[in-house]
Amino acid sequence: MAPLFAIRDMTISLTRAPADLDGLPAQPEERVVIEGASIAVDQGETVALVGESGSGKSLLAMASVDLLGPSARVVSGTTVFEGHVLQDLDDADWRSLVGMGIGVLLQDAIGSWDPLDFIGSQSGEALLEHTDLTQEEVQQRVLDALGEVGLSKRHYFTAFAHEVSRGQAQRGMLASALLSAPRMLIADEPLSGLDVTVGGAVLDLINDMRAKRGMGMLLVTHDMGVVAAVADRVAVVYAGSIVENGPVVDVYHTPLHPYTSGLLGSLPSLTGDRLRPIEGETPDLFEVEPGCRFADRCPYVIARCWSDKPAPRLLGSTLVACHRADELELKGVG
């Protein structure tokens, strides 16, 4: 059976100007930063993209629905949703399918709203564009959705983004994303900038609505605890590469990639042992070298790792990109 949503062999490049060290005009340079990434989400399933900040998680998620900024582009690869290749659609069909079928929670809950328009008015734009509902019917649906996410209906319908807290703005965005009853939700760091209490409430709300509506969800996060709580499968991203992809239970208990083991060992909430921090720093996506991108931080590195990029292979239930995955015994969580 085909998945509900699938990213297939996606390659993404970034363009930026190099540092101007000699006072001369710098020419923009383009470089591939994500190569051949693939992820699938089944109906009703939550798949998490997890990794350190700057690893390329959000870049991949936004590229999948053609929401990249001007400095990034999809070089090759496709996104398939309910059998439709999004890259093959004309603008009108893309807007209809993505606007109604896929809900998107953006990372910047405040900045994603137009500061000059009411939150309520913006929330109903997709329904006005793609349905025959009247203005009054759309307004009522927006009011109902705001109530469903725990916001005062009348107050937040006529509120501007600067008049609400980050948590309230995120709830409003969730209401907007779910207004058209999408079959797929992409949530990019939905708890970013929220305190623990508010973040927990928003997470519970997202998970409850996803389960109630039977949606698939692609969750972008750096929080391994959140992944353990809500995800069915997890794809671990490091420096633009998916290094491990499998069921959450298997990946957490028996990780196959040294980076995954390091992530799990760095979190006090997931391990009762002494913390196992990862030495070194995450590389700049624009500066990655050939070979395994984790080689300079890996305690198990061998000569082959520096020159030969490992291809994903299936070991048990997990896809892993590591030359030594079948011989290492790595620590997970208890």
The token pair that represents 90 in the structure block: 């004309």
The token pair that represents 88 in the structure block: 């093959």
Q: Chain centroid to CA 123: how far?
A: 22
Query: Is 25 a member of any domain?
Result: no
Same structural domain for residues 208 and 263?
A: no
What's the rounded mean pLDDT across residues 304-321?
95
Query: Is 224 a member of any domain?
Result: yes
Its domain, for residue 90, covers 1-15+31-114+165-231
Same structural domain for residues 6 and 59?
A: yes
Query: Is 123 a member of any domain?
Result: no
The token pair that represents 57 in the structure block: 């998680």
Which of the listed ranges 78-82, 165-169, 265-269, 277-281 does the model predict with the highest average pLDDT? 78-82
More confident residue, 120 or 314: 314
pLDDT of residue 272: 55
Same structural domain for residues 195 and 274?
A: no
Same structural domain for residues 9 and 104?
A: yes
pLDDT of residue 23: 59
Q: Is the confidence at residue 271, as pLDDT, over 60?
A: no
pLDDT of residue 283: 86
Q: Is the confidence at residue 269, as pLDDT, over 60?
A: no
Q: Is the confidence at residue 155, as pLDDT, over 80?
A: no
Same structural domain for residues 270 and 311?
A: yes
pLDDT of residue 314: 96
Same structural domain for residues 35 and 82?
A: yes
Which of the listed ranges 128-137, 194-203, 213-222 does the model predict with the highest average pLDDT? 213-222
Same structural domain for residues 262 and 216?
A: no
Domain count, the chain: 2
Could you tell me the CATH number of the domain that includes residue 58? 3.40.50.300
Query: Is 127 a member of any domain?
Result: no
What's the rounded mean pLDDT across residues 327-333?
91
pLDDT of residue 139: 81
Same structural domain for residues 57 and 1?
A: yes
Angle at 153 (CA atoms; ends 148, 156), nearest 5 degrees: 110
What's the rounded mean pLDDT across residues 146-165?
76
Q: Chain centroid to CA 2: how far?
A: 21
Residue 17's Cβ-count burial label (10 Å; 0-12, 13-18, 19+) is exposed
Query: Which DSSP string do the residues of 299-332 spell out, in sequence order?
Result: TT--HHHHH-PPPPEEETTEEE--TTTTT-----
pLDDT of residue 127: 75
pLDDT of residue 270: 54
Residue 30 exposure: Cα atoms within 13 Å on the Cβ side: 9
Which of the listed ranges 69-73, 129-133, 190-194 does the model predict with the highest average pLDDT? 69-73
Query: Is 214 a member of any domain?
Result: yes
The token pair that represents 287 in the structure block: 């500066």
pLDDT of residue 211: 82
Q: Which amino acid is at 320?
A: V
Angle at 87 (CA atoms; ends 237, 98), nearest 5 degrees: 80
Same structural domain for residues 172 and 306?
A: no
Residue labelled with tokens 């807290």: 165
Which SS3 state, helix, strand or coil, does residue 215 take? coil
Same structural domain for residues 258 and 182?
A: no
What's the rounded mean pLDDT across residues 219-244?
92
Query: Is 314 a member of any domain?
Result: yes
Query: Is 178 a member of any domain?
Result: yes
Query: Is 45 a member of any domain?
Result: yes
Same structural domain for residues 46 and 175?
A: yes
Tell me if 264 sits within 8 A of 334, measured CB to CB. no
Same structural domain for residues 179 and 260?
A: no
